[in-house]
Amino acid sequence: MSTHRTSTVLRIDRARLTRFAWLSIAASVLTIGMKTLAYLLTGSVGLLSDAIESVVNLLAGVMALWMLTIAARPPDESHLYGHSKAEYFASTVEGALIFIAAISICVTAVERLITPRPLEQLGIGLSISVAASLVNFTTARILAQAGKKYNSITLEADAKHLMTDVWTSAGVLAGVGLVSLTGWTILDPLVALAVAVNIIWVAIGLMRRSASGLMDAALPAEDQQKIETVLDTYRNKGLTFHALRTRQAASRRFVSVHVLVPGNWTVHDTHHIAEDIERDIRLAIGEATVITHIEPVDDEISNDDIPLDRP
């Protein structure tokens, strides 16, 4: 006879995470204005590329707000496991938007290579751009910490997006500064092209991670090792396990394992050992839904599902 037991831990109110998306949107609106002003003052295509990326940041922030709102919805009859995977759509769209921004930067830079243009009022333009970068850096740090704390791929993606903008600004500022020192206007579009290549790399990374999540990728190796450590403590007590499976759906993590116990154990004893195993796994890896399937170790059909094991 087999028994099933499912346990979950109390999840945080993920609707509260939307406040971080609003912070990202506010920062994007502010930096768009600042960087556009810097471009208008200097005529630098590098600063223009920086302003374009901030527009993408705004669109990404709006997308993040939308998906976080959906992900916070409780499970319903049509989505019994919740809506947490909506966060992957946000990070996928962010990656696509970053890619589009990079292409637009490349086009603008190539045009400026063909038709060079002298830069003006570099001092005030650079000062404004530096201030905008500080806004993005501060916001990115806040989002990154929140993303790690609340296990939100949407906030992590938004943070990486903003940090990409910071590095973009740093490259642009370096290029414009060199133009100011050397008078070589060709450096401005060349720096913009280099920034675009870096942005494309970040976009590819975001989209690959989102695709992995949508395909129900297993938990990271570090978490799987923690689970094995927990199971080892019970193996020392005479229990055995197989068919251990894990997956992650944005903020939610799932673990299932078959537990083989002596056939003469009572349902009461089996129930308690299942509770203990589930509790210890949650303590080891944090918030998770843990499912145990109990089987008698001395029943030969208990081995029929060994193929469910993963290497």
Question: pLDDT band at residue 11, thresholds of 50, 70 and 90?
Answer: very low
Q: Average pLDDT, stretch 18-31?
A: 88
DSSP state of 78: S
pLDDT band at 2 (very low <50, low <70, confident <90, very high): very low
86: exposed, middle or buried (C-beta count within 10 Å: 0-12, 13-18, 19+)?
buried
Q: How far apart are CA 245 and CA 235, in angstroms?
A: 18
pLDDT tens track for 88-99: 777 777 778 778
Q: What local confidence, expressed as pLDDT, does residue 232 receive?
A: 94
Is 80 exceeded by the pLDDT of residue 84?
no
Identify which of 25-34, 42-51, 105-114 has the greatest average pLDDT: 25-34
At 6, is the pLDDT very low, low, confident or very high (cuts 50, 70, 90)?
very low
**230 or 88: which carries more pLDDT confidence?**
230
Write the CB contacts of 178 (distance below 8 Å, at least 6 apart in sequence). 184, 187, 191
The SS3 call for residue 102 is helix
Q: Which of 61-65, 263-267, 290-294 has the lowest mean pLDDT?
A: 61-65
pLDDT digit string (tens) for 235-284? 988 899 988 989 877 667 889 999 999 888 899 989 999 999 999 999 99
Q: For the residues 143-148, what does the mean pLDDT come to?
A: 86
Q: Where are the domains of the chain?
A: 14-214, 218-308
pLDDT for 73 beyond 50: yes
Highest mean pLDDT among 6-10, 22-26, 156-160, 208-212: 22-26
Q: What is the mean pLDDT of the chain?
A: 78
Task: Classify domain 14-214 by CATH number.
Answer: 1.20.1510.10
Measure CA of the first residue to CA of the last residue in the chain; give whole Å. Answer: 27
- For residue 228, the model assigns a pLDDT of 94
The superfamily CATH assigns to domain 218-308 is Cation efflux protein, cytoplasmic domain (3.30.70.1350)
Q: Which residue has the higher pLDDT, 7 or 201?
A: 201
* Cα dihedral 204/210/216/219 (nearest 10): 80
